[in-house]
Amino acid sequence: MTSTSTTTPRARPPAGPAWMILALACAGQFMVILDASIVNVALPAISGDLGFTPTGLAWVVNGYLLTFAGFMLLCGRATDLFGARRMLVAGLLLFSVSSLAGGLATAPEILVAARVAQGTGAAMMAPATLAVINTSFTEAHARARAFGAWSAAGGVGGVTGAIAGGALTTGLSWRWVFLINVPIGAVLIVVAMMALTGARAGRRERLDLAGAVTGTAGLAALVYGVMQSADHHGWTSVSVAGPAGAGLLLLIVFVLVEGRFADRPIMPLRLFGIRGVAVGNGMLLLFGGISIAMWYFTSLLLQNVLGYGALQTGLGQTPAAVTFVLVARWAAALLPRTGVRALVLAGCGCFVAGFAWLAQADAASGYVTGVLGPMLVVAAGIGLTFPTLMAAATADGPEGDAGVIGGLANTATQVGGAIGLAVLATAAGATAATRAGGTSSAGALAAGYDLVFLMAAGLGLAIAIVSVLLPRLTPTR
C-alpha cells in the first residue's frame, strides 16, 4: 500500500536571523565538498607515513565518496522525519569526531574507517543544509539568492581543498588536513543549535527499513562498481559488472518496494510527478560529469601535461573558482526574472564553447590562452547552471519532503559524478594508451584529456536539449 500523503508540517519561525541560517547552510556545504578534495594532495605523504599499498590508498578517497553517495537518500528522508537541526548537528558531530580519528590515525585501517565515517557524516549534512534553505527561504527571490550562495560555497570548497591540502601538508603535516575540521565543526554545531528551530520537521512515522536497505545498498553497490572501472578494471570484468549489476538489481527492488509495498516510503515516487524534481534530477546526473571534467581533468592537465605542482595547480584553478562564485550569485539574482530554461541554455552554451576550447590544449599550450581562458568560460557555465538546477529540482516539493528532495538532488549529482569519472577516465586512458607509441608521454595524456573535454561538450549539448522539459519559471510556493 502506497502513501500519497503530502502532509506539510506546521511552520515555525527559525530560531536565528536569516543571514546566520544561510551562513550555516553554506558553511556545511563548504565542509562537505572541501573534504572530498582536500585529501588528494596529501595522499603521497599519507602513503609514506602509514604504509598504504597503492590499492589501499585509493580507499582514502573512495571510502568517503562511497558512503557519501550511498547514504544521501536515506539521510534525506531521516531529515524529514527527525528534523533538519537534529540531522545537521548529528552529521557535524560525526564528521568532526571522525576527522579527529583520521588525523590521529596510526594504521591504514583506522584512516579508511575514519573516512567511511566522514562520508556518512557528510551524507547527513548535505540534505539537511538543503532542507534548511528550502524551509527557511520561501520567497522566490530570497530562495534563489540562498541557492546561489550555497552552490558557490560548494564550488569554493572544491578548489580550496586543493590549495589548503597542499599548504597544510607542506607547512604542517598531512594530519592537519583532517584535524582542521574539528574546531570548525565545533563552531558550526553551536551555531546550528542557536540558529535552527528544535521543532520536529517531519511527520511522526517509522523509517521505511526495506526501502532504506535496498536503496542504500543499491546506490553503494552501483557506485562501488563504477569506481572499480576507474581503477583500470574492464567494464565487463567481475570487479565492475558484479557490484554494478547487483546495485541495479537492488535499485529495481527499491522502486518496487517504494511503489507497491511501503506504507511510508523513504522515496515517495509521487515526487517524480513534479516536473522540476524529475527533470532537474536527470539533468543533475549529466551535470555531475560536467563538474568532474572541469575540476578533476583540468587538474590532471595542469600537472601531467604542463608540469605544474599540486599547489600551483590549486592556485591555477582559483580564478575559475572565483568566476564560478561571482556568476552563481549573479544567476541567483536573475533566476526569478528569467526562469530556469534561459539560464540553463546560457550555461550550456558556455560548456560547449569552453570545453571545445580546452580540447585544443597540448604540451605546448600556454596557461593563459590554453587553459585559463576556457576554464573561465566553463566556470561561468557552472555558475549559471548548478544553482539553477538545484533550485528547479528542489523548490516545488512539499515542505515535509524537503529533506528527501534535497538528498535526491545531491545523490543525482554525486552518482553522476562517479559514473562520469569512470567513463571519462576510461576514455582518456584508452586514448592515451593508443597514442603512447607515437608521441611523448605528455602528448599522449593530452590527447586523452582532449577527448574528455569533447565528451563534456557533448554533455553540455545533452543538458541543453533536455532543458526544454524544465518549467519556464522558477517554481514558487
Domain boundaries, the chain: 15-207, 274-477
Taking only the tens place, the pLDDT of each residue in 288-336 is 888 878 877 888 888 788 888 767 777 888 888 889 888 987 887 788 7
145's grid cell: 539568492
Q: According to the model, what pLDDT value does residue 476 have? A: 43
Pick the most confident of 357-361, 419-423, 465-469. 357-361
Q: According to the model, what pLDDT value does residue 458 have? A: 93
Please name the residue that has the C-alpha cell 600556454. Answer: 366
Q: Is 80 exceeded by the pLDDT of residue 464?
A: yes
Q: Is 70 exceeded by the pLDDT of residue 399?
A: no
Q: According to the model, what pLDDT value does residue 4 have? A: 39
Cα pseudo-dihedral 263, 393, 204, 142, rounded to 10: -160
If we measure between CA atoms, which residue out of 72, 106, 23 comes closest to residue 409? 72
How many residues are recorded in the chain? 477
Taking only the tens place, the pLDDT of each residue in 143-162 is 777 777 777 777 677 767 76
For 434, residues 6+ apart whose C-beta sits below 8 A from its C-beta are none
Q: How many CB atoms lie within 10 A of CB 250?
A: 20
43's grid cell: 595522499
Pick the most confident of 43-57, 86-100, 316-330. 86-100
179/303: higher pLDDT = 179
Q: According to the model, what pLDDT value does residue 392 have? A: 79
445's grid cell: 595524456
Q: Is 80 exceeded by the pLDDT of residue 400?
A: no
Q: Is 60 exceeded by the pLDDT of residue 7?
A: no
244/155: higher pLDDT = 244
Q: Are 125 and 91 in contact (CB under 8 A)?
A: yes
DSSP of 331-390: HHHHHHHH-HHHHHHHHHHHHHHHHHHHTT--TT--HIIIIIHHHHHHHHHHHHHHHHHH
Distance of CA 415 to the CA centre of its chain: 8
Average pLDDT over residues 89-109: 93
Give the whole-number percent of the chain exceeding pLDDT 90: 17
SS3 content of the chain, % helix, strand, coil (to 5): 80, 0, 20
58/472: higher pLDDT = 58
C-alpha to C-alpha distance for 227 and 244, rounded to whole angstroms: 10
Determine which helix (DSSP H) or strand (DSSP E) holds 66, and give its type and residue range. Answer: helix 54-70
Do domains 15-207 and 274-477 share one topology? The answer is: yes
Give the whole-number percent of the chain exceeding pLDDT 70: 86
Q: How many CB atoms lie within 10 A of CB 196?
A: 26
Average pLDDT over residues 105-132: 88
119/8: higher pLDDT = 119
C-alpha to C-alpha distance for 35 and 414, rounded to whole angstroms: 14
Q: Is 60 exceeded by the pLDDT of residue 10?
A: no
Q: According to the model, what pLDDT value does residue 204 have? A: 54
469's grid cell: 522539459
C-alpha to C-alpha distance for 346 and 369, rounded to whole angstroms: 22
Q: According to the model, what pLDDT value does residue 32 have? A: 79
Q: Write down the mean pLDDT value for the chain.
A: 80
Say if domain 274-477 classifies as CATH 3.30.930.10: no
Taking only the tens place, the pLDDT of each residue in 192-239 is 888 787 544 444 566 677 777 887 788 778 877 877 776 656 777 887
Q: Are 163 and 318 in contact (CB under 8 A)?
A: yes
Q: According to the model, what pLDDT value does residue 375 have? A: 94
Dmax over CA atoms of the chain, in Å, equals 68
Q: Which CATH number fits domain 15-207: 2.130.10.10, 3.40.50.1820, 1.20.1250.20, 3.30.230.10?
A: 1.20.1250.20
Residue 420 to residues 87, 248, 426: CA-CA distances in angstroms? 29, 17, 10
Q: Are 127 and 410 in contact (CB under 8 A)?
A: yes
3's grid cell: 502513501
Average pLDDT over residues 114-141: 83
456's grid cell: 563534456
Q: According to the model, what pLDDT value does residue 144 have? A: 73
Q: Is 80 exceeded by the pLDDT of residue 428?
A: yes
Coil/strand/helix, residue 58: helix
C-alpha to C-alpha distance for 146 and 200, rounded to whole angstroms: 23
Q: According to the model, what pLDDT value does residue 439 have? A: 63
Q: Are 22 and 182 in contact (CB under 8 A)?
A: no
Q: According to the model, what pLDDT value does residue 376 have? A: 95
Label residues 295-333 b or e (16+ Cβ within 10 Å = b): bbbbbbbbbbbbebebbbbbbbbeebbbbbbebbbebbe
* Entry pTM: 0.74
Taking only the tens place, the pLDDT of each residue in 348-393 is 999 999 999 999 998 888 899 999 999 999 999 998 998 888 887 7
